[in-house]
Every structure is written in C-alpha cells, then in structure tokens.
Amino acid sequence: MKDYIKENEQRFFDELFTILRIPSISAKAEHKPDMEKCAQRLRELLLEAGADSAEICPTSGNPVVFGSKTIDASYKTVLVYGHYEVQPPEPLEKWHTDPFEPVIHDGAIWCRGANDDKGQLFMHIKAFEYMLRSGKLRHNVKFLFEGEEEIGSVSLPEWIRQNREKLKADICLVSDTTMISDKVPSINCGMRGLAYFDVKVTGPNKDLHSGHYGGSVANPINTLCDMISQLIDADGRITIEGFYDDVVELSTEDRELLAKAPFDMDEFKEFLDINEVKGEKGYTTPERKSIRPCLDVCGIWGGYTGQGAKTVLPSEAHAKISMRLVPNQLSSKINKLFVEHIRRITPPYVKVEVTPCEGGDGFLIPISSPAYKAASRAMAEVYGIEPVPSRGGGSIAILAEVQKELGIDPLLMGFGLERDTIHSPNESYLLSQLYAGMESIALFYQYFE
C-alpha cells in the first residue's frame, strides 16, 4: 500500500487531524461533549472508508463506535479494537506546542493522541480502506472504538456482554502498544493489569497554624509519606500482604527468550537522564517493566503548593497510587488486598479513605497462533527483519475481558516507540511508523488465513 499512502498522504493528514484536534479527555467530566464529537467524526471516517454501517452506541459511560464490513460470510472476521479518548495533557507548561493542535516536524506528528491511540487506530481505518478499494480484502472486518480505555474501560465489559453476537470474530486486532525500536520490531504477547486508587488522609478537621500545633498533632502529609514509604521494601518488593500470591514465576527458558530483545542500559539511563535504575531485586530492568508487578504513586498533593512559605499543618493529604499487575493476578483481588492493607497500616491518629478508580487484568497471547504468525510475516516484510515476541508493561484493561467473555484472542501489533512519550507532554508519532503500521496491517490481512 506504499503507493496508496503516497497518493493520499495529504488527505490522510487532514482526516487524522480532525480527530486529533478534539480534546477527548476521558478523565475529565467537562470533556463529555468532546467524546461525542470525536465518536461522531470516527463514525464518518469509517463510512467514508467503506464500512457497510457505523453507529454510535451508547453505554453507561462514553459511547462506543461500532462499524462493520461484511465481504462474505464464509471469510474470517477481524475485530479491530482501538480507543478514541486520550490522557489529560497536563503539565501544560511542558508542551512545546498546543497539545490539541497537531503539527508535523522532524518527521513526526506532535499532538496528544498522535500515537495513543488516535494515530494507531487511524492506521487500521486506512489499511482497511486500501484493502477494500484495491479489491484485495478477503476478510469481514468489525471496528470497536471505545471512549474509556484511559480510565479503565469502565462501561465496556457490560456493553460487550450485551453485544456478543455483534462482536463475533476470529481475532481481535489491536494497535495500542509500542515496539522495541524501529530497528527491532516486536509483537506484544502479554500485558500487565492495573489497579489504581485515590487515597485520602485526614488529620485535624481544619488547616492549622504549623507553629501553634506543629509537633503535637499528626500531620497528614507526613503520615501519607510514612504509609507510602511502607508499601515497598528495601528489596523493591511490594509489602501488601498476599500481593505476590498469584504471580507466576517465569521459567529460566522464558526469561532467556525475553532477554534476547536488545536492551542497552547506558542508552536507557541517558534517555531518562538518571544515574541509577531502581526496582525489584533479582530482576533485570526489562523484566521489571514487563513481567513483574510494580507500585507507583502517580500523583500526590496536600497543604500549600503556591509560591513562598505558608506555615500550615494541613487537614488533608491525597495520593493516586497505581499498581501494574502481571497475568494471573486479578485486579479485583488486589483491590481487596490493598484496601485491607491500608486499613492495617493506618495509624490511629489519622483517618484514611481509599477509593478504587481503575482496574483490569493482565493477559498472555499464544505466539503459535495463525494470527501471530501472519502478523510476524507481515512485519518482517515491512521492516526487513523478523519481529521478536515481547511483553508489554502497560495495560489495556478490556483485552482480558475480550479474551474471557468473547473467547477471542487479542493480537497486539503496536507501532509506537519509546520516543513518542505517550501520556507525557509532547506526545508524537513518527510518520515512518504510521506508514509502516498501515503497510503491516494491510499485509496481515493478506497473510491471515
């Protein structure tokens, strides 16, 4: 489809930019109208690309966009999954350009969602359009684009259970992950799950003068820090009771296979500008960020955060605490363990509230399947080198559900790169990856039988 991309490049940009410009931030209620707008625009794009039908399906949360094209009932069906909402762009001051005004420079598109996941789902629409218009499409194709991936796909499981028939397919094709590098293509054969909590610590019922009370009353910020500090031990292991019970230790063989993916520690440190890495004892850096669970505070706040010195002993302190889980760890169980653990370590001089706010299980994908092999062959042809199987550290909560509820294995052909800094300021997506993705997907259709 190389030539097709060349001929249609400007139109592709125009179309993609119309969805990138919509600030469809699912974490913020005030962006509800943008969710509708973005869903609507995607529906149009699906119809323009050649879908038989495309509809906006209401859920208890943000709408799902569902489109389909039936070529022949006897053909295999590919279900394409993606999400049209994005992470909040904050901190805004670190962006070099407007987060919702895409620009092209240095061979990439710069915009929130350029990669995750608007850019990546767009590849699927265009690869489908090409296959259809060139008369090569020998599959039936369904598209499922949701609006809550970044907030844990809250409403989708229910919608999936209500639409089993509609969603029937042989494989669930997803581009929402990264590959090791554009020199080392990889296919994701497993992802981590997620458990995410808001924790609120309340000390005194009002903000106090730190001179009048300091030393005599527990400070909720200090207490929150004490509690957070206790969650990880000196060996980098999470101290929540029972946390590791369901973690499957990988065999030496599996670890050796994964270790084949190239990793350069000096490059890694230089990219992040850090002197030392940190993580669980006994595991390598690539293992720590993929096959091992972890705990991170994603946000913390309390007291006076303005300029200058306000001498306050605050009433409250807050943290957003997240855990990445590995396959076989159930987020519902971890939720319970975390809440119980926090209750256990809460000292008597403060009150603590824990609110679970996102979760999903991890999963594994068999690399011996025809779909994996077709993807591997397609990418090998585009990149000139066979892709390696890898394990992703991120989470796509809904894919474990798709596997369990619909019996459809996901296939993760992700074309993002580390340099894209998704979820961070200045997200970007290389044009070379956008195009290689389209080509790989088009070839996947040709090789998947």
d(CA 365, CA 137): 25
In whole angstroms, the minimum distance from the beta carbon of 322 to its own copies comes to: 6
Given the complex with its own copies, which of 67 and 190 has the nearer CB atom? 190
> CA-based Rg of the chain, rounded to a whole angstrom?
23
Closest CA to 370 of 402, 409, 403, 396: 409
C-alpha 9/C-alpha 30 separation (Å) is 34
The nearer residue to its own copies, 218 or 380, going by C-beta atoms, is 218
Cβ neighbourhood burial of 205 (10 Å; 0-12, 13-18, 19+)? exposed
HSE (CB half, 13 Å, CA atoms) of 38?
32
CB 124 within 8 A of CB 175: yes
Q: How far is the CB of 392 from its own copies (least distance, A)?
A: 7
Please, what is the minimum distance in Å from the beta carbon of residue 350 to its own copies? 8
Nearest distance in Å: CB 401, its own copies: 17
**Count of beta carbons in the 10 Å neighbourhood of residue 385:** 11
**Distance, CA of 440 to CA of 319 (rounded, Å):** 41
Q: Which of 431, 406, 412, 404 is nearest to 420 (CA)?
A: 431
Q: Which is nearer to its own copies, 25 or 141 (CB)?
A: 25
Q: How far is the CB of 5 from its own copies (least distance, A)?
A: 28
User: Rounded to the nearest whole angstrom, what is the least distance from the CB of residue 362 to its own copies in the complex?
Assistant: 10
Nearer to its own copies (CB atom), residue 55 or residue 280: 280
Q: Are residues 93 and 387 in contact, defined by beta-carbon separation less than 8 angstroms?
A: no
* Amino acid (one-letter) located at 377: R
| 3-state secondary structure at position 199 | strand
Nearer to its own copies among residue 41 and residue 391 (C-beta): 391
Minimum CB separation of residue 27 from its own copies in Å reads 3
Based on CB atoms, which residue is closest to its own copies, 50 or 236? 236
Instruction: Name which of 120 and 140 has its Cβ closer to its own copies.
Output: 120
Do residues 220 and 351 make contact, with C-beta atoms less than 8 angstroms apart?
no
